[in-house]
Amino acid sequence: MMIRYTCLILALLTPLTLQAEPIDAQARAEALIAAFKAVKAPHEGQALSAADLKANEAAFLALDGFLDREALTHAPITPHAAHFKPEQLSAFKALFWQTLRLVAYPNSGAFFAAARYTLTPAKPSKEGFDVALHAVLEAEDLETDITLHWSRDGRLVDVSFDGASLVLDYRNQFGRVIKDKGVEGLIRALEAKHAQVTGAK
């Protein structure tokens, strides 16, 4: 009876294991780049039209589906989380996410619209899969290697530029601010950045 019961448990668990099929990370990367290109960016300081702003609402929502919001907002402060009160942590994550979207989405869209790039096949990683690309931006005489780090469920958890992790860079920056000015100082700095990118006074 015990053997039959064990076999039944294994039979139930096996489909769960089989469901963890690898994502097509390279196709996912290509779709992400296409989504970035759909973002409208202002030209030469001119404000976006109402139609462009409306289009960006949809483009931003599409891009949100590619990113692991929790990973990207929590990982940069993981070593410093003990310094945050619960309400500070919630405020930080919301503010950082909003600011990250406002800066990264248009900038990445403009970059990929102007750059020539080649993707390499995906490679397994600790988190899931990595897709590397080499990009050339001739207008700025820039060459860079970018690695997109995907989770196993196909969400972006980090980006590396020439081998340097964006998450770790934020972690170091935030750690220095917390050390010098505390959590409230970090939140104030983010509020100032958010106001800058939104044009708020």
Is pLDDT at 127 greater than 90 in this prediction? no
Distance (Å, whole) CA 159 – CA 128? 13
Q: Where are the domains of the chain?
A: 23-198
Collapsed DSSP state (helix, strand, coil) of residue 83: helix
Q: Give the model's pLDDT for residue 46.
A: 79
Q: Residue 165: helix, strand or coil by DSSP? A: strand
Token digits of residue 110: 């403009």
User: Fold for domain 23-198?
Assistant: Nuclear Transport Factor 2; Chain: A, (3.10.450)
Task: Give the pLDDT confidence of 60-102 residue by residue, as tens digits.
Answer: 999 999 999 999 999 999 999 999 999 999 999 999 999 999 9
Question: Considering only 33-47, 70-84, 102-116, 165-179, which range has the smallest mean pLDDT?
Answer: 33-47
